[in-house]
């Protein structure tokens, strides 16, 4: 059974089973990535979730295999079993359960990931100031044109 929380995200009741939570990516958008998979897609899925290159996660798993031996192997197997494959593009409700955040650089919403933080307030203020300065310079250019003789001449020619 699904309900919406105070932010509008779909949340599961406590009585919901493991299978449906697994199918929804555990509520945080964590899936196996079969398109970039080498073995089962677990490393590629964690790389997508953490927004890091897949080779970094694979290198970490190899290091864990070297230092912990069978513990990392069994952890990979558990990840393979507990993570559902990423839903396809055309499957219904594929992105409904993932929290979204606004990307100010791309001017669009994107899925919220663990290691992607927004810019520092000083950086955001600097970017906003730059946008305002660009807008101000465009307005000043329009004012110069409207108050110039060139504008009056063009207006007279357009009346003919």
Determine the 3-state secondary structure of 11 from DSSP. strand
Query: pLDDT tens for residues 120-139?
Result: 788 888 988 999 999 999 99
Query: pLDDT tens for residues 31-57?
Result: 787 777 778 788 888 888 887 888 898
**Domain boundary assignment for the chain:** 2-111, 121-159
Taking the whole predicted model, whether its pTM rises above 0.85 is answered as: no
Secondary structure of 103-121 in the HEC alphabet? ECCCCEEEECCCCCCCCCH
Please identify every stretch of the chain with a pLDDT value under 70, giving residue numbers as ranges.
1-27, 88-99, 111-118
The size of the chain, in residues, is 160
Q: What local confidence, expressed as pLDDT, does residue 1 receive?
A: 47
Q: What is the largest CA-CA distance in the chain?
A: 87
């Amino acid at each position: 059974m699904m309900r919406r929380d105070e932010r509008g995200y779909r949340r599961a009741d406590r009585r919901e089973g493991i299978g449906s939570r697994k199918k929804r990516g555990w509520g945080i958008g964590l899936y196996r990535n079969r398109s970039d998979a080498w073995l089962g897609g677990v490393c590629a899925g964690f790389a997508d979730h953490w927004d890091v290159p897949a080779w970094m996660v694979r290198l970490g798993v190899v290091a864990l295999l070297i230092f912990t031996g069978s513990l990392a192997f069994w952890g990979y197997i558990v990840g393979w079993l507990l993570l559902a494959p990423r839903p396809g593009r055309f499957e219904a409700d594929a992105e409904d359960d993932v929290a979204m955040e606004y990307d100010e650089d791309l001017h669009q919403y994107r899925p919220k990931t663990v290691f992607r933080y927004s810019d520092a307030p000083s950086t955001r203020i600097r970017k906003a100031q730059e946008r305002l300065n660009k807008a101000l310079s465009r307005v000043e250019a329009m004012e110069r044109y409207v108050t110039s003789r060139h504008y009056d001449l063009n207006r007279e020619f357009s009346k003919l």
